[in-house]
Amino acid sequence: MIEKYKLADTLLANRGYTEEERQHILLEPYKSIQNPYKLKNAESAAKLIKTFCDNHNSEIYVFADYDVDGLTSGFIMGDVLNKLSKGYVSVLFPNRSDGYGLNFYTCQKIVEHKSEDDNILVITVDNGITCVEQVKYLKDNGIQVIVLDHHESKDIVPDCLIVDAHGPDKDPAHYHLCGCSIVFKVCQILMDLYNKYDMLDYTPFVALGTLADMMDLTEENISLIRYGIDYMNSDDIKKWKGLYWLIDYCGLNDRVYPNSLKFDIIPKLNACGRMNNIELAYSLFTAESDSECERITNTIAELNDKRKDLTKSAKTLVHDAIYARSDEWFDDHVFYLALQPEYSGICGVIATQAFQEHERLPISFVIAQNSDVYTGSIRINDIYPFLDSQELLNQELNAGTINFFGGHKCAAGFSMPANENNLNNFVVHINEYIKNKFNEYVSGNGQVSTDNSIYYDTEITYDDFCESFYKSYAFIPFKDEPVFYWKDVYCMSSHTSKSNPLNIEYKFVKDSRIKDIWVWGEKNKNIDKQTVGLLGNIVPDFRNRNRYTMDIQDIVR
């Protein structure tokens, strides 16, 4: 492997990527991006879309979603159609309060203003696979529908053209694609049918969608992200004015990495959806003037601050609620909060917070009480591998306490008709579910792993705390962040933070040089005047992004 990529190669090898995969990812990423024609039904979808694009009287409605994958899916589809279509194109987003997916309200509006000879196509992106009734309604009214999704299908699927690797035509070679990548591939074919444009211009958006949805980091996904990151670090990004402004606002010029997308850019875009204004993020992507970009970027930052304030106040609620009931706690396995509608975008964040307050709590959920529907998020504590939110919610769907759910084993969203009885039954059922599962597990042969061995990727030296070291691997997205070992470092002194006594700043000495490193929370130890080993990730210093420091995971003596 070329010297420049030696570290990245080691880190990938440690994570089980084969030599051929590493070769592609690092040296020939174009080889990792699979032929779009291999994605099942993608070519038929592109051809059908083309017949509408070629028609002056056509109307194409793209129905997207309110998270970052949905946003980027909607943007790519809309932008490509605006370039190719002779007819009318519109991109629509749902409100969180309408619930997830193509909703009847939007369908009705499209049908109402349709006249006899209109040629209308609805394309759902990053949603649609569960919208059986809505698709039927549209088709009954002479409207064609294409579903581009990456979610798991239920037993009954919409009666229309579907591109979804997890849909009825299982396509395991493409399970790793997010909604936005499905759209990207269909658009690659569509562009190809017109002999036009290079879709690689859109990889920054694919990178955002893939990271936001935390898709598996397969060879193809890593390479798609890599293309997007390289593009964002080049002058080409100025072509996408709004995204360029946001990158600039976050102080990331020439310094975009998968982690800066995860921790700086994606949360800001997500804040729009959480605060019921995903259109704001969309308007940034489509903005044409600098003044417009500036105004929208500032509004997004304000919205993000408001979201943070709201989260903070909710965390206080969780804290107070948990401490108010500590005595009777162990009779009850589920913690929940019912909040006002303005919290609907951050129920999941709050539900997760409950585990920080009570680390052995099995299940928590938070609902926002809108007048006719309660929308909520449920979280499973991953220390209980035998609990599965999908199993639980499916049972509740059949029992009629909820009317919709989606998500994964440990995190899911759901909605229920606004009704106190439903809520009470839901809580009773969850407690029963947990008790049954515990009993099953204990009567089985549940074993707890007691592997306490220390893992690290490679040793580092003082000189590795620098931009060039970070740059040599951080362009690769990792599921498990690289852990480095800094051996035999002498702890000269330490002092605790004034605002939080759990945070400690240590002064370490190595080779006659001093490095000060903050250690957050309860990981710190009293190691004054001792020689220790430090295990952790290399991160930009929060006080100065030009410096690098260690996010310490463990201190070994």
List residues binding Mn ion (CB under 5 A). 69, 126, 179, 213
**Least distance (Å) from Mn ion to the CB of residue 17?**
24
Q: SS3 of 188, please? A: helix
**Least distance (Å) from Mn ion to the CB of residue 213?**
4
Compare residues 214 and 428 and give the one whose CB is closer to Mn ion.
214
DSSP β-bridge partners for residue 534: 486, 555
**Least distance (Å) from Mn ion to the CB of residue 52?**
24
**Least distance (Å) from Mn ion to the CB of residue 183?**
10
**Least distance (Å) from Mn ion to the CB of residue 270?**
12
The residue at minimum Cβ distance from Mn ion is: 69
Measured in whole angstroms, how far is the alpha carbon of residue 85 from the centre of its chain?
Answer: 31
Q: Strands of 113-217 (E only): list them.
A: 119-125, 144-148, 161-163
Q: Is 8 exposed, middle or buried (0-12, 13-18, 19+ CB in 10 A)?
A: buried
CA dist 357 and 318 (Å) reads 8
For residue 161, give the nearest of 253, 260, 85, 47 by alpha carbon: 47
Q: Strands of 134-243 (E only): list them.
A: 144-148, 161-163
Contact 39, 191 (CB under 8 A): no
Compare residues 33 and 215 and give the one whose CB is closer to Mn ion.
215
Compare residues 73 and 401 and give the one whose CB is closer to Mn ion.
73
Compare residues 80 and 177 and give the one whose CB is closer to Mn ion.
177
Contact 259, 474 (CB under 8 A): yes
CA dist 465 and 254 (Å) reads 19
Sign of the alpha-carbon dihedral angle for 203, 207, 208, 214: positive
Dihedral angle of Cα 29, 34, 36, 37, to the nearest 10 degrees: 140
CA distances from 352 to 49, 74, 100, 369 (A): 41, 28, 20, 19
**Least distance (Å) from Mn ion to the CB of residue 70?**
6
Contact 65, 179 (CB under 8 A): yes
**Least distance (Å) from Mn ion to the CB of residue 316?**
31
Compare residues 21 and 126 and give the one whose CB is closer to Mn ion.
126
Query: Which amino acid belongs to residue 81?
Result: L
DSSP collapsed to 3 states, 499-544: CCCCCEEEEEEECCEEEEEEECHHHCCCCCCCEEEEEEEEEEECCE
DSSP β-bridge partners for residue 552: 536
**Least distance (Å) from Mn ion to the CB of residue 372?**
27
Compare residues 21 and 213 and give the one whose CB is closer to Mn ion.
213
**Least distance (Å) from Mn ion to the CB of residue 126?**
4
Compare residues 216 and 440 and give the one whose CB is closer to Mn ion.
216
Contact 533, 555 (CB under 8 A): yes
Compare residues 164 and 213 and give the one whose CB is closer to Mn ion.
213
Residues across the chain = 557
Contact 203, 221 (CB under 8 A): no
**Least distance (Å) from Mn ion to the CB of residue 164?**
11
Compare residues 68 and 532 and give the one whose CB is closer to Mn ion.
68
Compare residues 95 and 395 and give the one whose CB is closer to Mn ion.
95
**Least distance (Å) from Mn ion to the CB of residue 212?**
8
CA dist 289 and 344 (Å) reads 33
DSSP letter, residue 383? T
CA dist 358 and 450 (Å) reads 22
**Least distance (Å) from Mn ion to the CB of residue 87?**
27
Q: SS3 of 488, please? A: strand
Q: Is 431 exposed, middle or buried (0-12, 13-18, 19+ CB in 10 A)?
A: middle
Compare residues 179 and 407 and give the one whose CB is closer to Mn ion.
179
CA dist 192 and 183 (Å) reads 14
**Least distance (Å) from Mn ion to the CB of residue 51?**
27
Give the list of residues 6+ apart from residue 489 with CB closer than 8 angstroms, or none.
508, 509, 510, 515, 531, 532, 533, 534
* Maximum pairwise Cα distance, the chain: 84
The Cβ of residue 312 has, within 10 Å, a number of other Cβ atoms equal to 9
Compare residues 59 and 126 and give the one whose CB is closer to Mn ion.
126
**Least distance (Å) from Mn ion to the CB of residue 105?**
22
Compare residues 165 and 527 and give the one whose CB is closer to Mn ion.
165
Compare residues 87 and 128 and give the one whose CB is closer to Mn ion.
128
